[in-house]
Structure 1
Amino acid sequence: MRHKCSTPIATRGQYWLRKVARTALLTVGRFPTALTLARALHRHGVRVIVADPLRRQLGSVSRAVAKNYCVTAPNTDLPAWEQDILDIIEREQVTDLIPGSEEVCHVANLVPRLPQSVRYQGPSARWIAQWHDKLRFVEHAISRGVTAPSVYTTADPEARALIRQTECVVKPRRGCSGTAVSFIAQGSNVPAPSPDMLLQRKVEGNHLYTLSWVDDGEVRTTASYRGSTHSGTVAVGFQSAPTPFSVKQWIERFLSDTQVTGFISFDFILDRSGIPWGIECNPRLSSGVHFIDETWLGAAVMGEATGPAPISPAGKRAQWSYSTLTEAYKHLLRLQLPELARCGRDLLVSRDAVWSWRDPLPFLLMTPLCWEFIWRSITERMPIGDASQCDIAWHWFTPQDAAQADAMQRGDEREA
């Protein structure tokens, strides 16, 4: 561990009396989703610790976070990152380990080394290897009898037959945040053969994103939303949406008998008949957390929630306003007036997901706190979504030995 810093925290009485029963470690703190989770846990009386490779990030100035650690980036030195996390767990007497983003793949592989007293809240390495892999995700969907569009690696001869029949999507097998996603017309040439790039049938319809909190394989709640403003393919403005019964059934069948506890996100396209097609699974927290009541959420993650979760009514909006404003400037400079109007609407009517009058510094200092990956985006000429994830996400992870490479398992190509 290279650095450690702590932040002052306005706490409830049990904090200064040292009577806190639970300490949660979030393995990333840079994203608004992780901040929302930290606030929910803090509201429930949990002591929250953040471990992030960025020394300065949203969690480092939040009043909901008791202590912030700067750790080695897992994609730079995975064994060092694992030891950093284990050292924090021992030092802070952590009771709950909760991944906050794409680093979930690394956290799951660390679980066998955790003390028995620590409760890991996320999918096992077995399920992550299957669900995070967009090829094996389809295989799992088939085994559960739910719908997912056909997909092949670009090295598979069947990919040629697929592109002759329909328009397709090309994407990385283990990508995130819309990285390297493109669309190709029917009859086009198949991209260069690769076992790590996929060709998938494009489904026409309306996108729907979901976030579920799952307890021992039982779906306790699901928040659904659609993107209203996008930075590339990543939504930075969101609108709450109703969850169709067919989508609820799809999620429940997909997750049944998995014994998973944690956050699971899905991307769907609902075709003209209303059939939900599962496009991918993100076995982690996502922006749907902004539409789940914080009081219920904190209790649920600690296994203490009773009753159904209050979800924001359909049509409610949330945004990351700094990102929305950046998109508005981009559309203004390009004279893209319809897109500019959509951004303007979000800026005027959407609640900012970071702002809280009880915890104002993450919002007020958001630009300097994000400067490290903003600078990386500028100097390395990569999308800011990629720059914010490339030190933690599996997509950019390079195994250093055979044991690490085993985690990158391969799957089958089929359609449900």
Structure 2
Amino acid sequence: MQRRSRWRFTRRSGRAGCSAATGSCYSGHRPDFRSERSILSTDGLRGKRVLLTGGRAPAALEMARLLAAAGCEVIAAESTRHHLCRVSRSVKRSCRVPSPAADPAAFADALEEIIAQEGIHSLIPTCEELFFVAASRERLGSQCAVFTAPLAQLQRLHSKAEFIRTAGRLGFNVPMTVRISKPEEWRDFAHSSSFRDMLSSGGCVLKPEYSRFAAKVRIATSRQELVEAASELGTGHYPWVAQQYIGGREICTYSIVHDGKVTAHAAYASELSAYGGASVYFEPLRHPAAQAWAARFAELERFTGQLAFDLIEQEDGSLMPIECNPRTTSGIHLLAGNPGIAEALLLPQASSASAPVEPRPDKRVMLALPMLAAGLSGRLRG
């Protein structure tokens, strides 16, 4: 095979490998790769080459499996040496790339060369690599389809403060939310009418503006608790969000969206989690109101990509948005195995005329590794 720029491909012992100046690319290719395609394979997807980023995540592995089952050839790009997709039979090749956080330019260069060398049709970013891919969306999009929204839109929705402002501007009911980034803003907020209103409605939830898995969340139910939290949290170098506490049931949604049209959707209740954060057990929740909420937001935003929401269902049945995750989430596990899910990702024209793909009613998912780790440490909550 021809050598191209920094990447080179060799074949040894039934495996393919490539190397770059910054690392190596190892293949999960098996000689019987093509024979593993399931009955979910469709002619429209057979042979399409898809590049996934974030191969370390269970959600990325799930996506690789469902794409391979539909007849796609999956290539994974990951900056860590050992990751889940590297040993999966659903992944034809696994390429190690530079860390996007440490060297964004080298990361984009590596993706561009993989796309050219492998003849990639579609790039689907998962995990935090999403934002770095979006930063090079125009450049990479000249070579293949890139399934992500523009960077500015992603950043606006990823921010817990800006997302709430956006939802309010679009006409949704939203909780009182205040962004706090300086020590003096903590003091001002402690004596503000907004804080008094939050206390009267049940309390104030404090959380980093950008975080995952409910990390570092605090609840203040008095001014003294807020002052104590501020003395600890206000010394950091990143902004926080103070949000009105909303009582009720937490509903999580995950949608695949093309130009504002939802082509696949899953909802589930957040009932069992590891370390008080991310859910590790999932079962589908038939919730028309949550689906309608997600569909309306996606349409008004003309969003393209993967879109997830944390909503609170109040006693009267109304929904209040809390956070948005414009990326792959664990909701993908509930959609795996459904006919049409790969088309929902890659062939929006074929799937837009029909109802969104939804989980089977009997679908149940438990993430084994987080469950084991949390169980052994006694930190499983439910």
Structure 2 length normalisation: TM-score?
0.80
Q: Secondary structure at the match of 1:50?
A: strand
Specify the SS of the correspondent of 2:281.
strand
Q: Distance in 1 between matches of 2:256 and 2:305?
A: 6
- Deviation sequence 1:97-152 (CA, Å, 0-9, x none): 10112221111111021152411112221210210111110111012111221111
Rg larger in structure: 2
Q: What number of residue pairs does the alignment pair up?
A: 330
1:407 corresponds to: none
Between the aligned partners of 1:131 and 1:27, the Cα distance in structure 2 is 20
Matched to 1:323, the amino acid is P
Q: Percent identity?
A: 27
SS at match of 2:131: helix
Tell me how far apart the structure 2 counterparts of residues 115 and 195 of structure 1 sit (CA, whole Å): 32
Cα distance, 1:63 vs. partner?
Answer: 0.7
The amino acid that maps onto 1:164 is: R
Q: How does 1:389-404 map to 2 (within 5 A)?
A: none
- Counterpart residue number, 1:121: 147
SS of the equivalent of 2:280 reads strand
Gaps of 5+ in 1: 343-416
Tell me how large the CA RMSD over aligned residues is.
Answer: 2.4
Which amino acid is the alignment partner of residue 215 of structure 2?
A: T
Give yes or no for contact 1:153–1:159 (8 Å, CA) kept in 2.
no
Q: Which residue of 1 aligns with 2:17?
A: none
Distance 1:244 1:20, change over 3 A: closer
Deviates more, 1:3-12 or 1:187-196: 187-196
After superposition, the C-alpha distances for 1:20-72 in whole angstroms (9 at most, x for unaligned) are: 64211111111111111111111111111100111211100111101001111
Structure 1 residue corresponding to 2:211, chosen from 175, 189, 211 = 175
Q: Residue by residue, what CA displacement relative to the aligned partner does 1:208-243 show, whole Å, maximum 9, x if unpaired?
A: 100011121112232011234312211112222122
Query: Which residue does the alignment assign to 1:252?
Result: 295
Q: Residue by residue, what CA displacement relative to the aligned partner does 1:356-407 show, whole Å, maximum 9, x if unpaired?
A: xxxxxxxxxxxxxxxxxxxxxxxxxxxxxxxxxxxxxxxxxxxxxxxxxxxx
Aligned counterparts of 1:330 and 1:222: Cα–Cα separation in 2: 33
1:151–1:200 CA contact under 8 A, matched in 2: yes
Residues in 2 aligned to 1:88 and 1:272: alpha-carbon distance in whole angstroms = 51
Moved over 4 A (4+): none
Q: Distance in 2 between matches of 1:227 and 1:115?
A: 36
Using CA pairs under 8 Å that are at least 6 residues apart, name the structure with larger relative contact order, 1 or 2: 1
Name the stretch that deviates more: 174-183 or 55-64.
Answer: 174-183
| Alignment check: 8 A CA contact 2:265 2:358 kept | no
Task: Show the 5 A alignment for 1:210-289.
Answer: 210-232=253-275, 233-245=277-289, 247-289=290-332
Distance 1:234 1:13 in 2: 35
Residue aligned with 1:189, SS: helix
SS at match of 1:88: helix
Q: Secondary structure at the match of 2:270?
A: strand
* Match for residue 111 of structure 1 among 125, 134, 137: 137
| Aligned-partner SS, 1:199 | strand
Alpha-carbon contact 2:115-2:143 (below 8 Å) kept = no
1:209 aligns with 2:222: no
Normalised TM-score (structure 1): 0.74
Task: Output aligned runs, 1:306-385, within 5 Å.
Answer: 307-308=354-355, 309-313=357-361, 316-331=363-378
Equivalent residues in 2 for 1:152-171 (5 A)? 152-154=178-180, 155=182, 156=185, 157-158=188-189, 160-161=191-192, 162-165=194-197, 166=199, 167-171=203-207
Comparing 305-314 with 321-330, greater Cα deviation is found at 305-314
* Structure 2 CA distance for partners of 1:30 and 1:99, relative to 1, 3 Å: same
The one-character-per-residue Cα deviations of 1:269-316 (angstroms, maximum 9, x if unpaired) are: 1111111111111001111111114332112112144743241217x4
Cα distance in structure 1, aligned partners of 2:36 and 2:286: 38
Match of 1:299 in 2: 343
The question of whether the paired residues in 2 share the 8 Å contact of 1:153 and 1:195 is answered with no
Report the more deviating stretch, 129-138 or 74-83.
74-83
Match of 1:185 in 2: 221
Aligned pair in 2 of structure 1 residues 115, 138: CA closer, same or farther (>3 Å)?
A: closer
1:164·1:186 contact (CA, 8 Å) conserved in 2? no
Q: SS of the counterpart of 1:91?
A: helix
Stretches of structure 2 that go unaligned for 5 or more consecutive residues are 1-21, 38-44
* Contact 1:267–1:279 (8 Å) recurs in 2: yes
